[in-house]
Amino acid sequence: MGRLFWKFFLCILLAQLTATIAIGGAFWLRDQARQKASSSLDSGPPAAVALDAAAATLRHGGEAALRGLLADLRRPQLYVLDAARRDLLGRPVPAELPKEAERQLGNGEQRGAWRGARYLVGPGGERYLAFVPRQSGRPEGMRGGPSDPLTPALDPGARRRIGQTVVIGAAVVASLLFAALLAWYFSRPIRALRSAFEAAAAGDLAPRFGRATKGGDELSDLGRDFDRMSGRLRTLMDGQRRLLHDVSHELRSPLARMQAAVGLAHQQPDKFASTLERIERESNRMDKLVGELLTLSRLEAMPDALRREPVDLTELADGIVADARFEAAESTRILIEAEGVVSVTGDPDLLWSALENVVRNAAKHGAQGGIVTVALCADQGLARIDVLDRGPGIPPADLAAVFQPFFRAGASRTGVDGHGLGLAIAQRVVQAHGGEIVAHNREDGGLRVTITLPQA
């Protein structure tokens, strides 16, 4: 058990004990008030009959006859005290009973037919105090009745003290158990979260909190958020490692070709010019790759640090299509369909780069002699651009992955120049502008790439 457990345990236990003492004290005060307000003498019909019988016996038979009656009478218990306040049978009498009887008689209480106390007058004018105590409050030394004639009854105060002790003891034990349970309940997810933090600090970013706890409280929500965060970090780190591997692989090929060209120049000086052209071409490829990587890195690091100005997408698409027609094969036609002026707010250079990458990708991978269509329209506050080609399409399992850096689809779309960064850059640009880009295979063959952006 850690320190947090004991802090929870002691705080909860203290709160429960305080509540228990407060509630117990309230009940005790109420019980004391009830005891003070209630009489300890019996004023029921049996008590009245016993008192009447004692009065008649004393009046007609004297004290001796009254002693005999008291000795024979078991229920209700009847006490008769002489002027010295001694019981006629010599039984011990709790001091509070005569006082209670005299108080009631002095205050004139119980004036009805049933009375729990009475003054008796003997034949010679002797005065006696008679009373019947309540059966539920028999004092120590009184006989218990026919069922237990030789067993002294337990003092009511002692019974109350025993009952209170049992209740308080049970409350303390229950408080200990409940406090321990609550402390364990609160500290368990925190221990699991601490273990997850320690594992993450050691480099293990695999989600682990959710396996340890399945609660639905805020601590469990915090742990699951940490699992999602660590999972996201793990994905990003894996992506960075893959990106580093892919960059190394992409740079290795042009570097190898440049080294081969340098070696060829040393061996065949007469081909120096063609070799230099080869080196320049590979250098340009590397420069383009590094430029695309820098653009991708800038978009991922600072997606909000963009210029914001009105951009006419129709005019932008016209310029991109004109360049693509110049670069595309003669058998490939590139068409543009625009429904009026479609405008957005954003960075014109980045938007040009994104749309250009998508259009060039369609022109490269479309079928020979096919048609590439760039369609623009405004739809419910969104600017929509569809780029359609007639190529072989992409396997459905790879449609989401085409926007990952250095991804190349199946063999049907390989063998073309490029590094697999164009669509990745396009996605980052569109997302930085609050839009969305998706790819779908067309039913009649080919690929549809749809870009949606908020209108200006």
Distance CA 239, CA 19 (A): 56
Are residues 247 and 324 located together in one domain of the fold? Answer: no
Half-sphere exposure of 344 (CA within 13 A, CB side): 29
Distances (CA, A) of 160 to 163, 166, 167, 445: 5, 10, 10, 92
Q: What is the CATH number of the domain that holds 51?
A: 3.30.450.160
Same domain flag for 422 and 318: yes
> Which tokens in the block code for residue 307?
């210029």
Q: Where are the alpha helices (DSSP H) in 38-95?
A: 45-72
In this structure, the chain runs to a length of: 456
The pLDDT of residue 141 is 36
- Could you tell me if 110 and 74 lie in one domain? yes
Strand ranges for 135-208 from DSSP E: none
Across-strand partners of 455? 344
Of the residues 103, 133, 163, the one at which a domain ends: 133
Same domain, 330 and 240: no
Backbone angles phi, psi at 394, to 5 degrees: -130, 140
Q: The tokens of 55 are what?
A: 């009065």
435 and 341 part of one domain: yes
Domain co-membership, 261 together with 381? no
Q: Which residues contact 27 (CB under 8 A, 6 or more apart)?
A: none
Domain ends where: 231, 266, 301?
A: 301
Position 357 in a domain: yes
Contact by Cβ (8 Å): 301, 276: no
Distance CA 131, CA 117 (A): 4
Q: Which residues of 374-402 are buried (b: 16+ CB within 10 A; e: fewer)?
A: bbbebeeebbbbbbbbbbbbbeeebbeeb
Q: Is the distance from CB of 234 to CB of 205 less than 8 angstroms?
A: yes
Residue 315 domain-assigned (yes or no): yes
Full residue range of the structural domain in which residue 274 is found? 218-301
Q: Residue 175: what pLDDT?
A: 76
Instruction: Give all strands of the β-sheet with 371-379 in edge-to-edge order.
Output: 333-338, 371-379, 382-388, 447-454, 436-441
- Whether residue 360 is found in the same domain as residue 381: yes
Q: Into how many domains does the chain fold?
A: 3
Whether residues 127 and 107 fall in one domain: yes
Would you say residue 173 lies in a domain? no
CA dihedral (208, 210, 213, 217) positive or negative: positive
Among 257, 273, 301, residue at a domain's last position: 301
In this prediction, residue 415 carries a pLDDT of 45
Identify whether 124 is part of a domain.
Answer: yes
DSSP code at position 455 = B
CB atoms within 10 A of CB 129: 19
Cβ–Cβ < 8 Å for 187, 213: no
* 284: CATH: 1.10.287.130
In tens, the pLDDT along 129-142 reads 999 887 754 443 34
Question: Are both 226 and 339 inside the same structural domain?
Answer: no
On whether both 419 and 334 belong to a single domain, the answer is: yes
Q: Are 385 and 399 in contact (CB under 8 A)?
A: no
Residues of the chain with pLDDT under 50: 110-113, 137-153, 411-416
- The pLDDT of residue 108: 59
Structure tokens at 99: 């006082």
Does the active-site annotation cover 266?
Answer: no
The first and second tokens of residue 304, run together, are: 């909000």
Q: Who's near 111: CB < 8 A, 6+ residues apart? A: none
Q: Which of 60, 245, 249, 433 is catalytic?
A: 249
Residue 280 lies in a domain: yes
pLDDT at 142: 40
Together in a domain, 295 and 363: no
User: Same structural domain for residues 330 and 447?
Assistant: yes
Count the neighbouring beta carbons within 10 Å of the beta carbon of residue 269: 9
In a domain, residue 361? The reply is yes
Farthest CA pair distance, the chain: 163
CATH number assigned to the domain comprising residue 414: 3.30.565.10
**Average pLDDT over all residues of the chain:** 79
User: What confidence score (pLDDT) does residue 413 get?
Assistant: 47
Report if residue 34 sits inside a domain: no
